[in-house]
């Protein structure tokens, strides 16, 4: 055998060894990946040890990423459909974050009432921490500090005495709204923006005694609404930093950076009014007399009970709760009323009988308008402002619905699913206000019946319900009593929604008013 034959055989053996090594490497790598995936699957789906409860069922996802790659932009619809397959309590992994979604009244009751104390904390997003450190009533950790903030809020804004005293603001601003609309007869009006500016003027009057008029009213109100819209979008945006906390310092999606930009704009407004009031207090001393809410809060800062950051965070809570959800609810109610002319006719007949076309609506008329109240309740059933409320976070592991919910899990109550469940409501996707007539106490806004939770329930439910009820009814009644409404020529009414922390209309409602009252001077 010559040297060339030896070399050829050697090359063949080396090639064979190389192919064998490569094949073994590929096989080892494949086996490793398979074992990793199986281990991950077993860890994510395993029940606890003998005698303990398992985690809820749920859809599978990818290793490490979990269900993130499958999320779509309409989570309330997506999670409702998933519940039909996986059950009314299900888990989803978002990266390293465990999320549990419940979709029935009984499970909502377990979380919001039976084990309310355990679920009293919010699952605070990074975006909220970036905005006044999450130190307001909405995001603060449950405890003595939160109780003190809520006590101030309820006592100084939501007591019957305060609400009666603030009626002068509500009446004035709603009358301004009617006058503004009358000046635009025959023109197109953005209903959501109109309601937002009206509510903003009421809230600012309560908080710091300020109000806007003329061009300033429209300009600042529209800008404020744009900022609040962006803040709510950032609150509800899926954020990598939430799912992989080790990546939070990188702020890969710029959520924290963008939220801090929003705080600069808010600071411009809040610092201005705080500085004015501090100067006013220094000039007037500690004289007793009529004080707006800000003056009262500044007194608490002097005693060390609050900080200026607390005040700004509380202001933001009140502005968002009093404007964004109010304007959204008014817009949805007006959408359904315009969509159903027979309902508009019934509402206006009731208003004509109770108020009369020679008068403007007053809050004293509201208790005598049961059909309008039913229309508002039905709008909030079909289009709840908070489709998942504000997500909860249990302070300890506990059992819900026969499954274990670990401490610090993100827990979401799918109110939209409950409100549209055919086992709970007849013809759930149809707009039928009559379902709320006859027993108004049963279907109030205070979360006593867990089939209907537009404002949540339990100790962390919306604290501003008393003011919201009055504002919503007064704005709606005034718009419908003072004007007829129609869509612009050739316009199709859209009822699609856009998911977020607040469930808004995908396309704003634009409508054209014509006057109904008997005398033009009533509008002036």
Helices (H), 285-429: 293-302, 308-319, 325-339, 341-354, 370-382, 415-419
Tally of domains in the chain: 1
- Name the residue with tokens 């006058």: 179
**Is residue 276 included in any domain, yes or no?**
yes
Q: What CATH code is carried by the domain that includes residue 396?
A: 1.10.630.10
Nearest to 315 by CA among 272, 255, 346: 272
**Is residue 260 included in any domain, yes or no?**
yes
List the structure tokens of 466. Answer: 């008393």
**Is residue 151 included in any domain, yes or no?**
yes
Query: Could you give phi then psi for residue 139, rounded to 5 degrees?
Result: -105, -10
- C-beta separation of 473 from 449 below 8 A: no
- C-beta separation of 405 from 399 below 8 A: yes
**Spans in the chain with pLDDT lower than 50:** 3-4, 6-14, 16-18, 20-21, 23, 31, 33, 47-48, 288-290
Strands 97-102 and 410-413, sheet pairing: parallel
**Is residue 165 included in any domain, yes or no?**
yes
Helix (H, G, I), strand (E, B) or coil at 90: strand
368-377 pLDDT, tens digit per residue, is 999 999 999 9
214-248 pLDDT, tens digit per residue, is 566 666 677 888 888 889 888 888 899 999 999 99
Query: Could you give phi then psi for residue 191, rounded to 5 degrees?
Result: -65, -45
Q: Which residues, 6+ apart, have CB-to-CB distance to 471 below 8 Å?
A: 170, 199, 202, 322, 326
Helix (H, G, I), strand (E, B) or coil at 457: coil
- C-beta separation of 521 from 491 below 8 A: no
**Is residue 53 included in any domain, yes or no?**
no
Q: What is the dihedral of CA 90, 93, 99, 104, to 10 degrees?
A: -20
Cα separation, 507 vs 488, whole angstroms = 14
**Is residue 35 included in any domain, yes or no?**
no
- C-beta separation of 499 from 394 below 8 A: no
Cα separation, 42 vs 211, whole angstroms = 60
- C-beta separation of 269 from 200 below 8 A: no
Tell me the C-alpha to C-alpha distance, in Å, between residue 175 and each of 170, 172, 243, 333.
Answer: 8, 5, 47, 20
**Is residue 5 included in any domain, yes or no?**
no
Cα separation, 414 vs 388, whole angstroms = 5
Helix (H, G, I), strand (E, B) or coil at 383: coil
Nearest to 186 by CA among 478, 483, 481, 474: 483
pTM comes to 0.87
**DSSP bridge pairs for 403:** 400
Count CB neighbours of 367 within 10 A: 11
- C-beta separation of 501 from 232 below 8 A: yes
Tell me the C-alpha to C-alpha distance, in Å, between residue 446 and each of 104, 228, 346.
Answer: 18, 25, 26
Host domain of residue 398: 70-523
Tell me the C-alpha to C-alpha distance, in Å, between residue 73 and each of 14, 188, 412, 415, 498.
Answer: 55, 30, 16, 17, 8
Cα separation, 515 vs 171, whole angstroms = 19
Nearest to 391 by CA among 409, 418, 416, 417: 409
- Name the residue with tokens 């003027």: 201
Cα separation, 335 vs 249, whole angstroms = 43
Cα separation, 363 vs 474, whole angstroms = 6
Cα separation, 206 vs 213, whole angstroms = 16
Cα separation, 17 vs 11, whole angstroms = 10
3-state helix, strand, coil in the chain (%, to 5): 55, 10, 35
**Is residue 19 included in any domain, yes or no?**
no
- C-beta separation of 480 from 361 below 8 A: no
């Amino acid at each position: 055998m010559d040297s060339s034959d030896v070399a050829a055989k050697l090359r063949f053996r080396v090639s064979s060894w190389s192919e064998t090594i490569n094949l073994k490497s590929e096989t080892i790598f494949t086996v490793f990946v398979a074992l990793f995936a199986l281990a991950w699957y077993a860890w994510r789906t395993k029940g606890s040890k003998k005698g303990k409860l398992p985690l809820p069922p749920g859809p599978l996802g990818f290793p490490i990423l979990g269900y993130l790659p499958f999320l779509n932009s309409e989570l309330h619809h997506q999670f409702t459909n998933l519940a039909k397959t996986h059950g009314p309590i299900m888990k989803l992994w978002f990266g390293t974050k465990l999320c549990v979604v419940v979709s029935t009244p009984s499970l909502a009751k377990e979380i919001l009432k039976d084990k309310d104390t355990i679920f009293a904390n919010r699952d605070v997003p990074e975006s909220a921490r970036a905005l006044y450190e999450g130190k307001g009533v909405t995001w603060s950790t449950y405890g003595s500090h939160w109780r003190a903030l809520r006590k101030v809020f309820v006592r100084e804004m939501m007591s019957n005495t305060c609400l009666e005293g603030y009626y002068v603001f509500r009446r004035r601003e709603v009358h301004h709204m009617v006058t503004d609309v009358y000046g635009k007869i025959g023109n197109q009006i953005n209903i959501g923006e109109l309601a937002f500016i009206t509510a903003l003027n009421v809230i600012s009057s309560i908080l710091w005694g300020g109000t806007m008029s003329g061009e300033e009213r429209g300009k600042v109100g529209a800008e404020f609404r744009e900022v609040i819209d962006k803040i709510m979008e950032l609150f509800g945006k899926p954020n990598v930093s939430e799912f992989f906390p080790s990546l939070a310092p990188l702020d890969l999606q710029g959520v924290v950076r963008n939220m801090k930009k929003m705080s600069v704009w808010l600071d411009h407004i809040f610092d201005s009014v705080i500085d004015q009031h501090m100067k006013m207090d220094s000039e007037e001393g500690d004289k007793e007399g009529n004080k707006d809410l800000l003056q009262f809060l500044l007194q608490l800062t002097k005693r060390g009970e609050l900080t200026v950051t607390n005040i700004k965070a509380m202001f933001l809570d009140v502005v968002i709760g009093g404007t964004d959800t109010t304007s959204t609810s008014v817009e949805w109610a007006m959408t359904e009323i315009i969509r159903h002319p027979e309902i508009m006719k019934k509402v206006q007949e009731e208003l004509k009988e109770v108020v009369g076309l020679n008068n403007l609506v007053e809050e004293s008329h509201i208790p005598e308008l049961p059909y309008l109240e039913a229309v508002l309740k039905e709008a909030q059933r079909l289009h709840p402002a908070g489709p998942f409320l504000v997500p909860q976070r249990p302070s300890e592991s506990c059992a819900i619905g026969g499954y274990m919910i670990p401490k610090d899990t993100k827990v979401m109550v799918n109110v939209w699913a409950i409100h549209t469940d055919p086992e709970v409501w007849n013809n759930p996707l149809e707009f039928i206000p009559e379902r709320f007539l006859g027993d108004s106490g049963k279907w109030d806004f205070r979360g006593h019946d867990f089939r209907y939770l537009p404002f949540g329930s339990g100790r962390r439910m919306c604290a501003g319900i008393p003011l919201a009820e009055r504002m919503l009814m007064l704005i709606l009644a005034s718009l419908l009593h003072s004007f007829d409404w129609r869509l612009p020529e050739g316009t199709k009414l859209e009822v699609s929604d856009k998911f977020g922390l607040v469930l808004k209309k995908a396309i704003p409602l634009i409508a054209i008013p014509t006057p109904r009252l008997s005398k033009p001077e009533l509008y002036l």
